[in-house]
Amino acid sequence: MADSSHGQDDPAAELARKTAELQVVQRVSSEINTTLDLEEIYDIALRTMDELFEFHHANILLLEPGGETLMVVASRGYENQAIGGRVRIGTGVVGVVAQKRKLLQVSNLGQQRAYAAAQRRQIMKAGRHAELGDTVHVPGLPNAESQIAIPLLIRDELIGVFSIESPVRRTFSEHKRGLVSIVVNQIASAIHNARLYEEQTRTAKALEAANATLEARVAERTVALERELRVAHELLSEARNRVEGPLLGESAAVRALRDAIAREAPRTEPLLLTGPPGAGEDTVAHALHGASRRTGAFIYVSCPELRTHLRPTPPGAGSELPLANKFELAVGGTLFLDAVHELPSSLQPALQQALDRDERSRVNRASPVPDVRVIASTSRDLTRDAQSGRLDPIMRLLLKTRIALPALVDRRDDIPMLVDYFVRRHARQLGKVVDGVSAESMKRLETYMWPGNIRELRTVLERAVLLSKSTVLEIDEELLDEGVAVGSYRLVEPLGAGGMGEVWLARHRLLARPAAVKLIRHDVTGMAHEQLVQRFQREAQVTAGLRSPHTVQLYDFGVNDSGSFYYVMELLDGLDLQRIVTDFGPQPAERVIMLLRQTCRSLAEAHAHGLVHRDIKPANLFVTRLGSEYDYLKVLDFGIVKDQPGQEATLLSSQGITQGTPAFMAPELVFGENRIDGRADLYSLACTAYWALTGQLPFRASTAAQMLLHHAQTPPVPPSEVSELLIPPELESLLMMCLEKNPAKRSASALDLDSRLARVRCEWPWTEDRAREWWEAHAPDIVAGRERVRKAP
Amino acid sequence: MAEKFLTRLPAEIRPVLDNGVPAVMVTCSADGIPNVTIISQVHYVDDTHAALSFQFFSKTIRNVRENPKAYVMVSDVIGQANWVLELEFQRSETDGPIFDAMDMQIEAIASATGMSGIFKLRAADIYRVLSVEKLSHVARAEA
């Protein structure tokens, strides 16, 4: 389809040529607008131009960023390697076209160059070398004779140049120039659109990448911020805990303690902290000092250590000096005397003197003394000392203001929070990552007795963190074992709480023998601690003196490291009579007789020792399986026993009365008579038998007082009248006799009652086989040993 | 021998003008002294006018200012013929489409040969065509 500039075509050929050209233009228009791929567009453009003009070489050059140069992006023909070549704006045919933004056709490049070269030589001959520049290489045919270059314009803005070259002289007619302009305009539009699309795609990808980077950075920053926040929280928590530490928690006991600290902190009087060892007395002292806003120092003095450090001094040499120095250091602040009961006797006068002077100063508001707040701590039971009149003057002065620290077992609810605090703190100190303790370990920690209180808790957790190889702490029994100080026994799990204290399943540390350990509860209300201790001791001593196989056996008793009394009893498997009747209904007379007789044997021994149980009731008669013997009865709870007639019943607890004892209480106890003997127990036993036979109490009352009045005044209804079960008349007569208001009308003794019961005839005696069958039917787990239903004394 | 003798530029001379330059130009001073030179462009303006490139201050310019008549011979390499144009100077143009078209070509060559600023178009001199004569190479060779 080359242009024929020389000679005239005939009209038909001209028409055919133009039709073909038009088809090419239409096709290029169609093809070039269906793609946004630049390489494809270049290919279409070059191919179309070749088809239209049959050139030897063609270049597509695009304006580069900065607008100073054009670069060959596509090439077809003689010199493909032109791709990547650059042309400066204003240089050569292409550069001038780009500069002028107009089509340029040069048809005699060879002659033009020759003419220019001749002119150059003339100039050089004239000695004007300096005016000449270097010859510039432009990409393209080196021997091009004809060249036409067309600017690629979009809205008059140059985007590039399309250049066609040929080594022969050729020329383009006006028609061809018009045609090439049309095609080039389409190419320019297509390139422009594709570049826009490419740019948008690149921008979108860049945006996407930037977004991804940004998201990653935001996520990274978020994690970092969260970490910083967590650290800040931990620091804040640590700062707060530095004051609170073991005072963390929400139990009533620790809240009361914090209230007491807030109340006492601003005061100046000496203050005594009492409580079991390791309960956090130094922390409380620190908290008091911190909350006092005193500007002076907090001086800690370990009184036992003072004893160690004191050296023998000659008389009058001033042995009080160490304490005096501490007082001076504490001016304006707080002097904390830890374990003040162990203050060496040689220093006691100095302390007493200081406390006396301080008190006089406060009372008289004269003779000012150094401003030192004295806080002391002791784990000694001062109540006993006070009652026995052995309280020394220092303690008397200190006791005027006192804060009692709770034992850890009295604030069990706080244990998880304290565990978390100590674990995190110690893990941080050791540089370990510990998320917490396992659920099983936490349960173990919560049920442990903590004789060493918070100090022991902290020690156990520190050891656990130290030894741990996991992020979840496991605290086995061995770690806790070392802290138990309940004689030779290790507490395993709580069995329940009675009127006097908690009962725990325990195991002998060497023999592994199971046992029940009973500890005095610290939170018993209505009874002074001293009274509780006395009662506890009495129960232990009395029980230890009894040898009847039907009296629960005492293994051991004493005081543990935290000052709590305990005694260790045999562990029983079975059910108490209260539960048997409650769960399985009234029991047959022959079984009741058999149980009553065993009770009588236990009581007979106690009565023979002058002891009255005073609390015989179904819950204290424990029916157990002892080896192969079933329905073996044990009498429990000699806690309110009275050891001789005429002694005041000072140990009777009000709690015991309101919890059911009144239902089984003999009239002479109701009246508070001084002369109480074993027949009071027989009355209670008769009430118990009445309950076992009928499932009902001898009297019905809505209040304890009404019940007591019935015992004192109302004759009971015979049990046979309230029960559909057969009750032998002899048995009923014996029970009604024992239920007489007047003790003299009752059976004379437990042994007497036992022998009378032995004579009661039953049509179907309660045999070993029947007993075993009952247990197998009603408590198979106990029979099989799968479940231990335990009753603690 | 002359094939044609015309007073207008024929269409067939356009590609000759595109391809045929440099051309030979002959002028004559007022006192009758002739001058022959080579010019880089003979631009087709219309069928009665042609534009010649004015690049150097020379005898040619002086002569034309004194005597407006000039002769230009363009060689048609492809067609194997020489064209002789009898021209009469009318005016010089230093801008406009004619000047720009001619200037682009010159600048394209000059910029690539290190002669920008030296080898340049100073003006497009517009001449009226007085006569056009086509001389065959063969005829000339025979002559």
| Segment A194-209, tens digit of pLDDT | 888 888 888 888 888 8
- Residue of B19, B42, B75 for testing the chain A interface, max A β-carbons within 10 Å: B19
Structural contact between residues A59 and A217, judged by C-beta atoms closer than 8 angstroms? no
Candidate from A42-46, A173-177, B10-14, B102-106 with smallest mean pLDDT = A173-177
Over residues A488-499, mean pLDDT: 65
Question: In B, residues 64-83, which contact A (CB 8 Å cutoff)?
Answer: 77-79
Cβ-in-10-Å burial (0-12, 13-18, 19+) of A637 comes to buried
* Percent of chain B residues topping a pLDDT of 70: 90
Residues of B in contact with A110 (CB under 8 A): none
Q: Which pLDDT belongs to residue A525?
A: 42
Instruction: Characterize A463-481 residue by residue with b for buried, 16 or more Cβ atoms within 10 angstroms of its Cβ, and e for exposed.
Output: ebbeebeeeebebeeebbe
Which domains are delineated in chain A? 11-198 (3.30.450.40), 248-309+324-406 (3.40.50.300), 572-791 (1.10.510.10)
Q: Which residues, numbered 48 to 67 in chain B, qualify as contacts with chain A under a Cβ-Cβ cut-off of 8 Å?
A: none
Mean pLDDT lowest for which of A55-59, A94-98, B123-127?
A55-59
Residue B36 neighbours by CB under 8 Å, 6+ apart: B24, B25, B26
pLDDT digits (tens, 9 = 90+) for A320-329: 556 778 888 8
pLDDT in tens, A581-611: 988 889 999 999 999 999 999 999 999 888 8
- How far is it, in rounded angstroms, from Cα A457 to Cα A455? 5
pLDDT given at position B131:
92
pLDDT tens by residue, A747-785 = 999 999 999 999 998 888 899 889 988 988 887 766 655
**B79 pLDDT higher than 50:** yes
Confidence class for position A733, pLDDT limits 50, 70, 90: very high
Residue of A nearest to B18 (CA): A107
Question: For residue A487, is pLDDT > 80?
Answer: no
Highest average pLDDT, of A536-540, B98-102, B113-117, B136-140, comes from B98-102
pLDDT at B116: 83
Q: What ipTM does the predicted assembly reach?
A: 0.84
pLDDT of residue A43: 87
Contact yes or no for A93 and B117 at CB 8 A: no
Q: Do the chains contact at B114 and A120, CB–CB below 8 Å?
A: yes
Q: What is the mean pLDDT of chain A?
A: 80
How far does B112 lie from chain A, in Å, by closest CA? 5
Q: What is the pLDDT of residues A80-117, one digit of tens each?
A: 567 888 899 999 999 999 999 998 888 888 878 888 88
- Confidence check: pLDDT of A627 > 80: no
Which of B16, B18, B24, B74 is best to mutate for the A interface (most A CBs within 10 A)? Answer: B18
- Is it the case that residue A533 has pLDDT exceeding 80? no
The answer to whether residue A653 scores a pLDDT higher than 50 is no
**Residue A492: per-residue pLDDT:** 66
Contact residues, chain B, for A134 at CB < 8 Å? 114
List of domains in chain B: 2-142 (2.30.110.10)
Q: What is the enclosing helix (H) or strand (E) of A480?
A: helix A477-481
pLDDT at A561: 57
Q: Which residues of B touch A93 (CB under 8 A)?
A: 108, 112
Residues of chain B contacting A163 with CB distance shorter than 8 Å: none
What the block records as the tokens of A438 is 């396992």
The pLDDT of residue A255 is above 80: yes
Cβ of B112 and A108 within 8 Å?
Answer: no
Are A381 and A201 contacting, i.e. CB atoms less than 8 angstroms apart?
no
Q: Which of residues 89-128 of A touch B (CB under 8 A)?
A: 90-93, 95-97, 100, 102, 104-109, 111-113, 115-117, 119-120, 123, 128
Closest to A582 (Cα-Cα) out of A620, A618, A633, A630: A618
**Cβ B111–A131 below 8 Å, yes or no?**
no
Residue of A nearest to B107 (CA): A96
Catalytic hit among A615, A631, A681, A754? A615
Q: Does the pLDDT of residue A498 top 60, yes or no?
A: no
- Of the ranges A278-292, A307-321, A525-539, which one carries the lowest mean pLDDT score? A307-321
**H or E element at residue A69:** strand A69-77
The DSSP H or E segment spanning A603 is: helix A589-608
Per-residue model confidence (pLDDT) at position A296: 83
Establish whether A556 is a catalytic residue.
no
What are the CA-CA distances from residue A751 to residues A69, A178, A588, A600, A755 (Å)?
A: 129, 142, 22, 6, 6
The confidence band for A309, taking pLDDT boundaries of 50, 70 and 90, is low
Q: Is the pTM of this model over 0.80?
A: no
B73 to chain A, closest Cα gap in Å: 15
The predicted pLDDT at position A685 comes to: 96
pLDDT at A543 over 90: no
CB contact under 8 A, B22 and A119: no
Of B51 and A567, the structure prediction assigns the larger pLDDT to B51
**With contacts defined as CB-CB under 8 Å, which chain B residues touch A132?**
114-115, 118
Chain B environment of A119 (Cβ under 8 Å): 115, 118-119
Q: Do B117 and A131 touch (CB under 8 A)?
A: yes
Q: Work out the pLDDT band at A500, boundaries 50, 70, 90.
A: low
Rounded-to-10 torsion of CA A520, A522, A525, A531: 50
Q: How confident is the model at residue A244 (pLDDT cuts 50, 70, 90)?
A: low
Strand partners, B87: B70, B129
Give the one of B12, B104, B109 whose C-beta lies nearest to A112's C-beta: B109
Of B15, B38, B113, the CB nearest to A117: B113
For residue B138, pLDDT over 70 is answered with no
At A602, is the secondary structure helix, strand, or coil? helix
Residue pair A461/A423 in contact (Cβ under 8 Å)? The answer is: yes
φ/ψ of A305, rounded to 5, equals -70, -35
A477, A481, A488, A490, A553 from A510: Cα distances, Å: 15, 12, 8, 10, 19
pLDDT tops 90 at residue A269: no
Nearest residue, CB atoms, A134 vs list B38, B79, B114:
B114
Which tokens hold the place of A552? 């629960």
Q: Which long-range contacts (CB under 8 A, 24 or more apart) does B46-50 make?
A: B46/B9, B47/B8, B47/B9, B47/B10, B47/B129, B48/B7, B48/B8, B48/B9, B48/B128, B48/B129, B49/B90, B49/B126, B49/B127, B49/B128, B49/B129, B50/B9, B50/B17, B50/B85, B50/B87, B50/B126, B50/B127, B50/B129
pLDDT on residue A635: 92
For B92-117, what is the mean pLDDT?
89
Beta bridge partners of A576: A622
pLDDT of res. B70: 94
pLDDT tens across A117-172, in order? 888 888 888 888 888 888 778 887 777 888 889 999 988 889 999 988 888 877 77
Average pLDDT over residues B95-108: 90
In this structure, of A237-241, A393-397, A762-766, B86-90, the range with the lowest mean pLDDT score is A237-241
- Which helix (H) or strand (E) covers residue A791, if one does? strand A790-791
Q: Report pLDDT for A481.
A: 58
Q: Which of A457, A464, A454 is nearest to A432 (CA)?
A: A464
